[in-house]
């Protein structure tokens, strides 16, 4: 009798697993729809210029500088300042260990100079300028998407439906000073939440055995949230509703962020930054063209009574953020 009772439970868990995998694959597929980026770029000249500038700065200049360093500068220094006796060609010189050590120290010093006076300033310059360009790209893409919104808009709400995916609605802020304070408080909370979540993602990489797997999923969610945050901001979606929607549909957003992580998974940090800086505008444009609410709602309608468990992805970041907000003026803290 016990075995018969376990059969429906096991079957239900298998069905849930299939739905999770299916929703993850749908998110992955949506992230790879790069043709949407080209459509947006055709609609807006400024959008095309900003996207091209990201490719130029982060691809040609930043990654090109890394390639120049590794393929030309370092091999040239290895030839001028060798670290092996067979490269010197003089036995008398090889007998002097201090000379080879001096060569090695001088070579490392010159490479460090290259990083200090070129790569690190270029990295900071690229980060600041790219962030500004990402905002312009998202703004112009949102404007372009609104032009075609009326012809593609789907009805998401039904009178008898109450799923979490139906909670997407515009934020109605109060007018005047109260609305301004609410907006400031929400922005501060959002920055703190993403900051602590970034630390959480970084820390999980050092957990033995399961750390790398956890890091992969957390990174996927982080990049996915970053991509959709522009659209949600311009749509005036309240922060609590976007987080609820994100955590309620975590397989879709894990799938959407997976291509971002896979693209940089096997590169060293600086190369990963350059590659991600090139691809990130494309994912932002793809997210801007993805009607996540529509896709998820249509998929959930075929699940009958099956519901996914809400995953508290931002739980730790939320606790730490609220601790910090308690130190701020009460007017900001009350709005959170």
pLDDT value, residue 82: 72
| Mean pLDDT within 129-135 | 93
Bridge partners, residue 170, by sequence: 237
Mean pLDDT of 66-91: 75
Question: Domains in the chain: how many in total?
Answer: 1
Give per-residue pLDDT as tens, 164-211: 444 444 445 555 556 666 677 778 888 899 999 999 998 998 888 888
Residue 335 lies in a domain: no
> Looking at residue 279, what is its pLDDT?
93
Per-residue model confidence (pLDDT) at position 334: 46
In 3D space, the residue among 286, 294, 291 whose CA is nearest the CA of residue 39 turns out to be: 286
Tell me the C-alpha distance between 21 and 308, whole Å: 12
- Classify residue 189: in a domain, yes or no: yes
What per-residue confidence (pLDDT) applies to 160? 41
Q: CA-to-CA distance for 236 and 171, rounded, in angstroms?
A: 5
Say whether pLDDT at 4 is over 70: no
Q: What is the pTM of this model?
A: 0.82
Mean confidence (pLDDT) of the chain? 81
Is 9 a domain residue? Answer: no
Q: Which of residues 76 and 335 earns the better pLDDT score?
A: 76
- For the cut 60, the answer to whether the pLDDT of residue 230 exceeds it is yes
Q: How confident is the model at residue 226 (pLDDT cuts 50, 70, 90)?
A: very high
Give residue 92's pLDDT band: very low, low, confident or very high (50, 70, 90).
low
Closest residue by Cα to residue 145 from 237, 292, 43, 246:
43
Query: 119: how many CB neighbours lie within 10 A of its CB?
Result: 16
What pLDDT does 214 receive? 92
For 269-302, write each residue's pLDDT tens digit. 889 999 999 999 999 999 998 888 888 888 777 7
pLDDT beyond 90 at 153? no
d(CA 139, CA 284): 11
Going from the C-alpha of 121 to that of each of 51, 108, 125, 129, 266, the distances in angstroms are: 22, 19, 6, 12, 24
Does 3 reside within a domain? no
pLDDT band at 326 (very low <50, low <70, confident <90, very high): confident
Give the other-Cβ count within 10 Å of 175's Cβ.
Answer: 8
Tell me which residue range forms the domain holding 275: 18-87+96-156+176-328
Is 4 inside any structural domain? Answer: no
The C-alpha atoms of residue 295 and residue 282 are separated, in whole angstroms, by 20
Q: Give the model's pLDDT for residue 167.
A: 44
| Domain assignment of residue 101, yes or no | yes
Alpha helices in the chain (DSSP H): 2-31, 35-43, 45-54, 64-68, 74-80, 85-88, 91-94, 97-114, 120-147, 149-152, 177-204, 211-234, 239-248, 250-264, 269-289, 292-300, 315-325, 330-334
Q: Does residue 29 register a pLDDT over 80?
A: yes
Q: Is the pLDDT of residue 333 over 70?
A: no
For residues 223-261, one letter each, b for 16 or more C-beta atoms within 10 angstroms of the residue's C-beta and e for the rest, the string is bbbbbbbbbbbbeebbbebbbbbbbbbbbbbbbbbbbbb
Q: Looking at the domain assignment, is residue 303 inside a domain? A: yes
- 127 belongs to a structural domain: yes
**Contact assessment for residue 30 and residue 291, using Cβ atoms and an 8 Å cutoff:** no
Question: Is residue 53 scored above 60 in pLDDT?
Answer: yes
The predicted structure's pLDDT at residue 96: 55
Look up tokens 């900001």; give the residue.
332
pLDDT at 303: 66
Cα–Cα distances (Å) from 209 to 7, 60, 173, in that order, read 32, 37, 46
């Amino acid at each position: 009798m016990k075995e018969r009772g376990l059969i429906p439970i096991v079957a239900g868990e298998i069905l849930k697993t299939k739905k999770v995998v299916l929703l993850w694959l749908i998110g992955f597929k949506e992230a790879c729809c790069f043709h949407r980026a080209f459509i947006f770029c055709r609609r807006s000249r400024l959008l095309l210029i900003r996207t091209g500038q990201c490719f130029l700065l982060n691809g040609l200049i930043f990654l090109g500088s890394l390639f120049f360093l590794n393929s030309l500068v370092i091999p040239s220094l290895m030839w001028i300042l060798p670290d092996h006796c067979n490269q010197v060609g003089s036995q008398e010189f090889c007998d002097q260990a201090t000379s080879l050590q001096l060569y090695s120290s001088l070579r490392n010093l010159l490479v460090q100079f290259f990083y200090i006076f070129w790569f690190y300033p270029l990295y900071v310059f690229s980060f600041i300028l790219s962030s500004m360009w990402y905002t312009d790209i998202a703004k112009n893409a949102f404007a372009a998407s609104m032009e075609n919104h009326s012809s593609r808009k789907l009805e998401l709400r039904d009178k008898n439906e109450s799923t979490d995916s139906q909670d997407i609605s515009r934020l109605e802020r109060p007018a005047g000073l109260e609305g301004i304070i609410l907006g400031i408080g929400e922005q501060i909370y959002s920055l703190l939440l993403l900051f602590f979540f970034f630390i959480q993602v970084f820390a999980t990489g050092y957990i033995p055995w399961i750390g790398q797997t956890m890091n992969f999923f957390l990174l996927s969610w982080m990049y996915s949230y970053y991509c959709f945050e522009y659209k949600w901001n311009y749509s005036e979606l309240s922060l609590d509703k976007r987080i609820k929607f994100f955590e309620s549909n975590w397989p879709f957003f894990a799938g959407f962020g997976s291509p971002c992580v896979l693209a940089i998974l096997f590169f060293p940090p600086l190369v990963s930054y350059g590659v991600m800086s090139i691809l990130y505008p494309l994912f932002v444009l793809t997210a801007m063209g993805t009607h996540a609410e529509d896709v998820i709602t249509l998929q959930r309608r075929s699940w009958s009574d099956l519901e996914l468990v809400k995953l508290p992805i931002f739980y730790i970041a939320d606790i730490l953020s609220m601790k910090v907000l308690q130190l701020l003026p009460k007017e900001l803290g009350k709005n959170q």
